[in-house]
Amino acid sequence: MMKGVLTYMHRDFIRWFRYRVGVVSVLVLPAAWLLFVGLALPVQFTGNYLDFITPGILVMTILTAGISSGSLLMFDKLLGFLNKFLAMPVPRESILVSKILFISVRGIIQITIILVLAVLIGATILNPLQYGIIYLILFLFGVFIAAFSTTVAIYLNDHDSFAAFSAMVTMPLFFTSSALMPYDVMPGWLSTIAHVNPLSFAIDAIRDVAAGNLPLLPIVVIVVLSLFVFGICRHVFRKLTV
């Protein structure tokens, strides 16, 4: 199982590195968000807006990274790789696990760049333990989103539908979360949506960590959520492949 997962991940990493535009885009996009929104937006909700917006950008980055996990599976499916892999004695789940892990690990690389950049332009430096917990939360959240998008990709039959799906999910989810502004300055309806948005959940947990607390409950909930969605994903995958 583990060997299969590592081989599939190795393949995806080589393919990613060879495709240079992909590497640059993955690294530049979150940096652009941080700079343009964090520094340029003329808002003053809180003392240090950069400290406030950074968790939002982190979670958004993991969200866009995670959504593209389904896209990877979709291409393997469309180009005939999936059929080849499924006809091998390697445990079939290792394909799923590898996609989800690859995307989460790649997300972690992006996260590191954002964190370094944020500190460079004036965000507060946290202690190593806090960074560790933030990484953990983001990794778990990445698994949650990647498993979700992979499940959708198993069901859909062409890449255009998948692109439409990911565009439809990403932006609304981001703008209705607590990423850009605190709950108390939101209009009432937005605040209601933001409170049930899974994105705000991860964002609030990270802000809590930055404030010096240990948000145990949110972490447990994210663990349960990602296990649950991964379970569904595995079930759907098994059902549709024999």
Partner 1 sequence: MASIETVGLTKNYGGLCAVDGLNIEIKDEIFGLLGPNGSGKTTTVLMLTTLISQTRGSASVCGYDTIKQPDKVRSCLSYVPQDMAIDTNLTGRENMMVFARLYGIENPKDKVDELLGIMELSDRADDLAKTYSGGMRRRLELAEALVHEPDVIFLDEPTLGLDVGARKKIWRHIYSLNRKGMTIFVTTHYMDEAEQFCDRVGIIDHGKIAALGTPSELKSQLMSDVITVSIDGEFFPVSPDGLNGILYVGNSGDEYSFTAENGREALPLIADALKSSGNRVRSMAMREPSLDDVFLQSVGKQEEEQGFEELKYRLMLRRR
Footprint of partner 1 on this chain (CB under 8 A)? 3-4, 7-8, 10-11, 14-15, 18-19, 77, 79-90, 157, 241-242
Sign of torsion over alpha carbons 201, 203, 204, 210: positive
Within 13 A of 132's CA, how many CA atoms are on the CB side?
4
Min dist CB 40 to partner 1, Å, is 36
Nearer to partner 1, 125 or 242 (CB): 242
Contact call for residues 22 and 170 (beta carbons, < 8 A): no
Distance (Å, whole) CA 103 – CA 67:
9
Min dist CB 108 to partner 1, Å, is 23
Min dist CB 228 to partner 1, Å, is 26
Min dist CB 59 to partner 1, Å, is 31
Distance (Å, whole) CA 128 – CA 167:
35
Nearer to partner 1, 41 or 88 (CB): 88
Min dist CB 78 to partner 1, Å, is 9
Nearer to partner 1, 14 or 185 (CB): 14
CB atoms within 10 A of CB 232: 13
Q: What is the DSSP string of 28-43?
A: HHHHHHIIIIIIIS--
Distance (Å, whole) CA 185 – CA 7:
48
Nearer to partner 1, 90 or 221 (CB): 90
Nearer to partner 1, 79 or 185 (CB): 79
Min dist CB 20 to partner 1, Å, is 10
Residue ranges of the alpha helices (H) in 158-197?
159-175, 188-196
For the chain, the farthest-separated pair of C-alpha atoms sits apart, in whole angstroms, at 58
Nearer to partner 1, 141 or 162 (CB): 162
